[in-house]
Structure 1
Amino acid sequence: MHPSISFTLSYDFERIQFLDVLVYRNSMNGVETSVYTKPTDRNQILHFYSNHPPDTKNSIPISQLMRVDKIVSNTEERKIANNGTQQTGRKNTDSANKRIPFLSEFSNSSDSIGKVLRRHWHILSKAYPQIGEFVAPPVMSYRRGKTIGGMVTSSEVKTQFKRRDAFLGRRKLGMYPCLGCVQCSHVIKGETFIHPSTGEKISLRGHFTCVSKYVIYALTCPCGFIYIGETTQMVKSRISQHKSSINLGNMRLPVSKHFLEAGHGADQLKYMVLEGIPPLKFGGNRELKLKQREVWWIHRLKTLAPSGLNRDYDLYLFL
């Protein structure tokens, strides 16, 4: 250890401090808390005539008294804070002032609207004297009205996602192999998904590959059954997990159980991405939206057992 580094040890059987809180044992062997001040504290004071913002200077007494009120557990010591607030002469106006706010968009006619309300407010106060909110006129509150700049400018932050293309040119809609993984041979390539049992054709609305994330996929077997799944990882990783469960003889999962009972091999598995969930605007829950769309596709393609390989779905996702 470097000679300039040193440690100190302090202990006490009656009290212990942590940050600005002092925990001590009182005369009744109970535990109480108080404000702790370090011996090296110089107690620097901000002069009221300094150039700091007025709100900063006015908030210091309030914040310090709130700190004392929260930390100090002894009611006698806490009276210091109570006396301080009483000497300021401030009154609690929360219960006395029951004026309701009248909120509207600010415009050229806002001043006229306020005058009309104040002029005729006595009608409400006389008609309903038992309602305290109608005694005094309302407080006029305004929110910013529509402006030309607000209508032509988007308020949301747009993030551009860079995509790596294997080929030059315009992206085609549909599902295509990434040409770089072992799951490419299992991809159902094309712009439409054809239901193996009913022959229904569903056009895809996005460009998907083996490395697509946050997607709903359809997995098919040689029998014509469909399993609908969702994944937040690359879809090739999820397909690899399905194949692994089949090869390991896992009878607990619906896909591997059906493949094993029907005598199918993992190499006969085929899949296609049906839909992708992009990042939601305004910070929505992308994973919840993904699971909700999975339920929609299960209902859309009727893949619940015995018509398909899905065991069930959770309706609580829509609550």
Structure 2
Amino acid sequence: MEHDSHSLIFLDLTILKDLNNMLQTTVYHKPLSRNTLLQADSNHPPQLIRSIPTGQFLRVRRNCSSTQDFMSKASQLSQRFLERGYAQDAVDTVWDEALNIDRLSLLTKTPRPTQTTKPRLCFSTRYSPTAGKIKHIIKKHWHILQSDPSLKEICADAPRFTFKRVRNIRDRLVHLDMKVSHSTTWLSNPPTGFYKCGHCTHCSNSTNAKHFSHPMTGKSFSINYFINCNSTHIVYLLKCPCGLVYIGQTKRQIKIRISEHKMAIRTKNAIYAMARHCMEANLCLLNSGVLKKLVNPLEVAILSIKCYAERRTGFIH
């Protein structure tokens, strides 16, 4: 932020004090700034390219407190658009529209209208030159989905179309020289199994283990990853002194999830199955151990169905 006795520069705005000690504002450009406006022939959605001049001229209209200053800055902006291949007529039209808009309305925050219609489906894909044809084909044949009795209510209106950016040359050529490590241990060859971290309040309720057993069949399962209290994306096992075990999963650190279970038990929050069980059994002790490293949600579902088909309300008998 630059400033002197008569002006202050902040981001793209210059605040000035005139001869009458009144504050005036104008657009600020760095002396070495380049023309970084998007090329008119860039491979972007046409509506996005058409909206850029409108947004830029309205920004200049809002930041320039005097009409004379706006005309000067708008002339410079118009020249920058012409250098990037925009049509003279389109730029002049947007310039005139911005000039005729009341500047006070641009300085007033407009509340968003409340949504009165039902939310529409959204069709999202990567943008390409054929995006317009895809949109046309979907709209043309949308009545087929509307004729289906089971989909009629969901597909009452045509979907909204949104496009994601495709990979550009930079994405294909530039790579990080330094690989980001997500390891939870400093060991080069960590052992498999669950181990206490030794630094949290839950270690006293945890048990170091390389395997666990099914409470009904006694079948043993190995833990094939190194896991501690700081590990994330895991399926965990909580064992109650009554003999029941609870199976859960979390994307956060396991110690955070265990803290939530303990707090639920202390506050008797019946939303949590573990707390509800402890209220019924009048128990408040937990023995936490880790079940298996979570690779993906499908693996969790298969694991739960294969090994613990007798689960009821979160507990295994």
- TM-score (norm: length of structure 1): 0.47
- TM-score (norm: length of structure 2): 0.47
Structure whose alpha-carbon radius of gyration is higher: 1
